[in-house]
Chains A and B, each alone.
Chain A
Amino acid sequence: MNGLSCSAVTAAYNGSSVLDGIDLSVEPGEWLVVVGPNGAGKTTLLRVLAGVLPSGGEIRLGGIPLSSLRRRQVAATVAVVPQTPVVPDGVSVFDYVLLGRTPYIPYWRMEGPADLDRVADVLERLDLAGFASRPISSLSGGERQRAVLARALAQDASVLLLDEPTTSLDLGHQQQVLELVDGLRRESGLVVISTLHDLTFAALFGDRVVLLAGGTVVAEGSPREVLDAETVATHFGAAVQVVEGPDGPVILPVRSS
């Protein structure tokens, strides 16, 4: 298959286990949302899948073991949108998005016209053309997140990993960013794996939801299967009511007393 799969993946920080026996499989065009309480290992899972954190078990990209690929080959397959991307000082949006072409530029070379064209395409696609010469640090939260997505898109990867892509965005911009990702994965058949804190958004955009707790998968399935009030209460310690909305389950917080 062309997607991403992993089996028996483990990871540890300083000897203490953070991930324990994770099995996942995501098809092209599918959006898997990883939810779970703080400290469940969500970010660690994404770092492991991106190949920047050593791990046990096996991860396969399009059937090929991740461990057999070189750094730049991984980057040409897996693009990462970090939770809090570093915003370099004095770099234009164009040059920032150009960083996404790094896996395609040989070590001793500079970017070529094809790389610049690709960046221009991506900027147009994400409605960032008007921002091309602006310093990335001058952009608002929503614009900046689009620029980070643009960089990931310029990587021409088939797998997109998003770590809490809506953090610090207002409701409208959260929606915009998620709709954008949704459109992109449909257009290009991307594998999308994202973590999301907002369970309603998780239900709205995820084809499948994985609930991670204590470093293991405790529930996996359609949003409706995973996100019931009892499961959320057990693993998040949250009192919620799950009601049926127009586009799927809506997870409503309620007073516990």
Chain B
Amino acid sequence: MSAATLPLTRPRTRPGPLVFSLVLLVIAAAGSLVLGPAGVDPWGAILEVLDHIPLVSVDSGLSEQEAAIVWELRVPRLVLAGLVGATLAVSGAAYQGVFRNPLADPYLLGVAAGAGLGATAGIVLDLSTSAIAPLAFAGALVAVFAAYGLARLGGPRRTGATLILSGVAVAAFFTALQTYLQQQHADTIRQVFSWILGRLGTTGWSEVAILVPYAAVSWVILIAHRRHLDVMAVGEEEASTLGMDPARVRLVVVSAATLGAAAAVSVSGLIAFVGIIVPHIVRLAAGASYRVLLPVSLAGGAAFLLLADLIARTVQSGGELPIGVVTAFVGAPFFAFILATRREVAA
């Protein structure tokens, strides 16, 4: 047989899924750049962005006001949507890997409940918008930290399942506190809800600047653990016999994913479903290896949230839908469709 005479090499990773998700990302970003209620000339909007690249100078032909719409509203918004989507998707994928649970994502360990409580406290105390984000961030970290602490109470042999159950308990508790606060201050309900349902609309470069360092650290650490997550796929005990310390990997990965997700939700609100739906679509299309899953989830998550945001701000004339509504409303049926049509592959 000819195969026996060839030197045996590692099967190549198909580049298709990554290329596809990057193309989708570019299309989604371009759409977000040129579409908007202000009716800015699309070509002018593209040239305006090029003009901001160092050492490139082009005349976009836009008025000063139009240029500001492009560079101060649309671009930071699309950058933020991309960063948030990528961060939520990659941290969801990492959580699923480290817990070997297809339903795991940072929200499960209390990130959403903690951030929601922090943000509600900020709104109730009538703090400025810029103070709400740090409170939400702190709330998210406190919740996950509490879940970890609670799981440790069970003894040194804590497993992934213990941690998830602790997270569920902490999330329920924080949500109860948040609901109580909200109910005691009924006048702020509208504001609280609009935060919880997620928004990218009021953002500018300052939110991007807040998120970038956390997202960068989170991405780098998670991508660096793609090999470890593949080892974890054989379970904690086998991973141990292969020389890996599952508890250590879990701590590092959960910390990195939580940091990124907490920073993302603190500037964007609780955008639902991205951390579950994107990694699973990628798994169905590109396989379960984290070497592929993590990078493709980054690009795919960014593209997904950009498209969702595009729908959120264009589907309803004269107003915007909350983006969390769009991600769940579009995402859930799409996800169901994928599951139904690709069942053989998943099984």
Chain A interfacial positions (CB closer than 8 Å to B): 47, 50-52, 71-76, 78-80, 82, 85-86, 88-92, 94-95, 98-100, 102-103, 105, 108, 110-111, 116, 119-120, 123-124, 129-130, 132-133, 155
Contacts and interface: CB of A to CB of B under 8 A. Distances in A.
B288 A108 contact: no
Interface residues of B, number: 27
A79 B238 CA distance: 10
B288 A132 contact: no
A83 to B, nearest CB: 11
B243 A75 contact: yes
A92 B240 CA distance: 21
B41 interface: no
A95 B242 CA distance: 14
A155 B234 CA distance: 15
**Chief secondary structure at chain B's binding surface:** loop
Given A90-B283, A91-B289, A75 B8 contact: no
B245 A99 contact: no
Given A85-B234, A90-B288, A111-B227, A76 B8 contact: no
Give the interface centre of B3, B242, B243 by most chain A CB atoms within 10 Å. Answer: B243
Contacts of B36: none
Contact of A99 (B1, B11, B234, B283): B234
Give the interface centre of B1, B7, B231, B244 by most chain A CB atoms within 10 Å. Answer: B244
A129 B8 contact: yes
Contact of A71 (B224, B244, B283): B244
A65 B11 CA distance: 39
Given A88-B234, A120-B8, A133-B11, A74 B243 contact: yes
Contacts of B4: 129-130
B7 A120 contact: yes
17 contacts: A50-B240, A50-B241, A75-B243, A80-B241, A86-B235, A88-B230, A89-B233, A89-B288, A95-B11, A95-B289, A98-B10, A99-B230, A110-B227, A116-B10, A124-B8, A130-B1, A155-B242
Given A91-B289, A108-B224, A124-B8, A99 B241 contact: no
A130 B230 contact: no
B243 A72 contact: yes
Given A91-B233, A132-B11, A75 B287 contact: no
